[in-house]
């Protein structure tokens, strides 16, 4: 982001390797599996998914990524929610036909409807800096040498709760303040069982939500909690 983030991108973020795009990588041949829609993508060469891409740069530049590297916004890397680290993915921008091969070294994005978070450099390659978000096709062009780093647990999600208020005005004030830095911030309205306006960020896996919880505590001084989403 910075464009705001999601952090959770999550928080973490992306890049640090000087690895080059896999030589000879190609799109899947005719007869390959049809694209799936959404964040899930099989970690096998030729697997295809369609959705929306976003990108991140500052303020994540120089921070650790989910695989322990240091994020460099000028490197060609990306964050994906489930693919094993060091998987190579071709990202094609539907709006202009441009594509880039990126290495997965981070987790994210955590905004509903987005399936990959590109580094700023990768986003420039497909000309989506101005729009920030673009419709894309993802194609796995090289499998990870360590498939054990995949994240298959897609069925349980968590949010980071920043506060709960009996009145809406302070909740919206907090939302506006926090969304200057993070994306995916929203106010969960009261229900019969929970009569509070709850300010929350995102939809993430448990480890990623805990990462964000610590981030907003350390950097923003907010005593956040992690809550399971229904």
Question: Over its length of 230 residues, how does the chain's per-residue pLDDT go in tens digits?
Answer: 333 334 333 333 333 333 323 332 223 333 334 455 555 678 899 999 999 999 998 878 998 888 889 999 999 999 998 899 999 999 999 999 999 999 999 988 867 678 999 999 999 999 999 999 999 999 999 999 998 887 755 556 788 999 999 999 999 999 999 988 887 889 998 888 778 999 999 877 777 788 888 889 888 899 999 988 76
Are both 17 and 41 inside the same structural domain? yes
Are both 134 and 190 inside the same structural domain? no
In a domain, 2, yes or no: no
Q: How big is the CA angle at 94 (ends 57 and 114), to the nearest 5 degrees?
A: 50
| Contact assessment for residue 1 and residue 54, using Cβ atoms and an 8 Å cutoff | yes
In a domain, 1, yes or no: no
Are both 56 and 131 inside the same structural domain? yes
The CA distances from residue 117 to 44, 72, 191, in Å, are 19, 13, 33
- pTM for this model (two decimals): 0.58
Are both 178 and 104 inside the same structural domain? no
Are both 70 and 180 inside the same structural domain? no
CA dist., res. 213 & res. 178, Å (int):
13
Number of domains in the chain: 2
Stretch (H or E) spanning 48: strand 48-56
CATH number where 198 lies: 3.30.70.1070
């Amino acid at each position: 982001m910075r464009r705001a983030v999601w952090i959770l991108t999550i928080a973490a973020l992306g890049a640090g390797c000087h690895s080059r795009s896999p030589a000879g990588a190609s799109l899947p041949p005719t007869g390959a599996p049809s694209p799936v829609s959404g964040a899930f993508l099989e970690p096998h060469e030729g697997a295809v998914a369609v959705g929306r891409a976003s990108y991140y740069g500052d303020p994540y530049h120089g921070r650790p990524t989910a695989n322990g590297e240091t994020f460099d916004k000028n490197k060609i890397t990306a964050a994906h929610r489930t693919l094993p680290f060091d998987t190579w993915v071709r990202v094609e921008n539907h709006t202009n036909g441009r594509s880039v091969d990126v290495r997965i070294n981070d987790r994210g994005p955590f905004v509903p409807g987005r399936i990959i978070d590109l580094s700023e450099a990768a986003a420039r390659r497909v000309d989506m800096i101005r729009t920030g978000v673009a419709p894309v096709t993802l194609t796995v062009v090289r499998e990870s040498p360590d498939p054990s780093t995949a994240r298959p647990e897609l069925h349980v999600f968590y949010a980071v709760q920043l506060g709960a208020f009996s009145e809406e005005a302070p909740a919206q004030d907090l939302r506006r303040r926090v969304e200057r830095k993070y994306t995916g911030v929203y106010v969960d309205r009261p229900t019969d069982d929970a009569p509070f306006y709850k300010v929350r960020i995102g939809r993430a896996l448990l480890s990623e939500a805990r990462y964000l919880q610590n981030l907003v505590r350390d950097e923003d001084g907010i005593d956040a909690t992690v809550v399971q989403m229904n």
